[in-house]
Amino acid sequence: MSIFLNNFTRVMTLIMKIALLRASFSFSVTSWWRTVKRNNDVGGLPKSLHLKGLALDIVLDNLEDDEEFKAAAGDLGIHVYKEDDHLHCYERSFV
């Protein structure tokens, strides 16, 4: 049970931080908590944080907000990097 609660707390922390970013930036979450099948289908890594709900992919409505979003996320402890057509986000303490 403690493993579940630890992961739940981490997921909720990430959600709260993403909600704070959502107050300042318009974006859509395109991928979050994946099943193993979905992760394999999209070419995700075998130990992807998506499998634990600890990473998410977003697409900004205004692509020009890219650097500003990365800076704001960084201030909250969220690492963001560009992958093809989306931004991949995870909390630095999760890796």
Q: Which two tokens stand for residue 42?
A: 């999209």
Residue 42 and residue 3: Cα distance in Å, rounded?
27
pLDDT over 60 at 1, yes or no: no
Residue 31 and residue 17: Cα distance in Å, rounded?
16
> Each residue of 40-52: pLDDT tens digit?
999 999 999 999 9
At residue 2 the predicted structure's pLDDT band, cuts being 50, 70 and 90, is low
Residue with token string 């690492």: 79
> Each residue of 17-67: pLDDT tens digit?
999 999 999 999 999 999 999 999 999 999 999 999 999 999 999 989 999
pTM comes to 0.86
pLDDT over 70 at 81, yes or no: yes
Residue 35 and residue 52: Cα distance in Å, rounded?
9
At residue 78 the predicted structure's pLDDT band, cuts being 50, 70 and 90, is very high
Q: Are 65 and 39 in contact (CB under 8 A)?
A: no
